[in-house]
């Protein structure tokens, strides 16, 4: 009987351990920086990102729990908003405005200006019918990851070109990814899918380029991917020539530095 009791106790431990691990599940925010936490309408909303929110392309994870710490599921929509006192506007957004489950929701936002004297950012959610606004701070990065300009083709369209990668540039071939949006109104910033690009890395301090680059081509939803090759460490520019229907509409560039 004693031996049977030990076996049953062991089985109970194994059963409890399995159930506990399933209840806990993987923490999808472990490798992310907590940007802010906000409590309202019996919900706790935590916003995470790989780094501080900045002017440019941000990948954002939202964790939503009830007051007892249980993950919430349901319907959701999101709109980033900049309040400039006399006016407000949004920014380019990539989001599934539908449902979320297990307390986790992901979206991407291209903030077009920093928080500060000009205004303040918030991320406005509608979660299961409840409207909740979460203030966030957006910084200007040391080197710009967003370029905006008026098209030289029609002198009317305003483009926003954001550098997504390389995130950690190194000597050799690097994956190049950019995304392009335009402004149609204060709330509407659609992706631009009809562009063609040429790319030239340029080392400013030594006045030379590098070979073996691949011009970024459109993949989906305004994202363009290619390859950029750096032959040495130091200061570089990623110079782009942007055309539409065979006409140049812009020549944005991004400054990089790596050792």
Single pTM value for the model: 0.88
Domains delineated in the chain: 33-136 (2.60.40.10), 146-258 (2.60.40.10)
Q: Is residue 199 within 8 Å of residue 251, measured between CB atoms?
A: no
Condensed to tens digits (0 to 9), the pLDDT of residues 9-18 reads 343 333 333 3
157 DSSP assignment: P
pLDDT computed for residue 163 by the predictor = 98
CA angle centred on 235, ends 231 and 241, rounded to 5°: 80
pLDDT computed for residue 30 by the predictor = 81
Is it true that the peptide bond before 166 is cis, omega within 30 degrees of 0? yes
Which region holds residue 180: left if phi is over 0, alpha if psi is between -120 and 50, else beta?
beta
Q: Is the pLDDT score of 157 beyond 70?
A: yes
Condensed to tens digits (0 to 9), the pLDDT of residues 56-80 reads 999 999 999 999 999 999 999 999 9
Q: Quick one: average pLDDT of 12-41?
A: 63
27 or 128: whose pLDDT is higher? Answer: 128
What token pair was written down for 33?
């920086």
Q: Quick one: average pLDDT of 135-161?
A: 97
Cα separation, 112 vs 211, whole angstroms = 32
Q: Quick one: average pLDDT of 85-110?
A: 96
Q: Quick one: average pLDDT of 19-33?
A: 59
Cα separation, 64 vs 95, whole angstroms = 16
Write out the H or E segment, with its range, that includes residue 164: strand 158-165
Q: Quick one: average pLDDT of 104-119?
A: 97
Cα separation, 78 vs 98, whole angstroms = 10
């Amino acid at each position: 009987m004693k031996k049977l009791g030990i076996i049953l106790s062991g089985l109970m431990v194994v059963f409890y351990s399995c159930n506990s691990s399933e209840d806990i599940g993987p923490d999808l925010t472990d490798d992310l920086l907590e940007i802010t936490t906000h409590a309202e309408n019996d919900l706790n909303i935590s916003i995470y990102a790989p780094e501080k929110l900045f002017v440019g392309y941000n990948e954002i994870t939202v964790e939503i729990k009830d007051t007892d710490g249980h993950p919430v599921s349901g319907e959701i929509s999101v709109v980033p908003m900049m309040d400039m006192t006399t006016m407000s506007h949004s920014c380019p957004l990539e989001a599934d405005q539908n449902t979320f489950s297990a307390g986790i929701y992901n979206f991407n936002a291209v903030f077009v200006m920093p928080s500060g004297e000009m205004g303040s950012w918030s991320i406005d959610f509608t979660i299961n019918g409840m409207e909740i606004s979460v203030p966030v701070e957006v910084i200007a990065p040391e080197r710009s990851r967003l370029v905006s300009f008026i098209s030289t083709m029609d002198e009317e369209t305003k483009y926003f070109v954001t550098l997504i990668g390389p995130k950690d540039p190194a000597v050799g071939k690097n994956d190049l990814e950019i995304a392009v949006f335009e402004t149609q109104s204060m709330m509407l910033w659609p992706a631009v899918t009809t562009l063609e690009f040429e790319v030239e890395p340029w080392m400013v301090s030594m006045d030379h380029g590098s070979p073996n680059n691949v011009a970024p081509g459109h993949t989906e939803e305004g994202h363009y991917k290619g390859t950029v090759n750096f032959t040495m460490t130091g200061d570089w520019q990623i110079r782009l020539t942007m055309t539409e229907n065979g006409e140049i509409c812009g020549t944005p560039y991004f400054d990089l530095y790596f050792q």
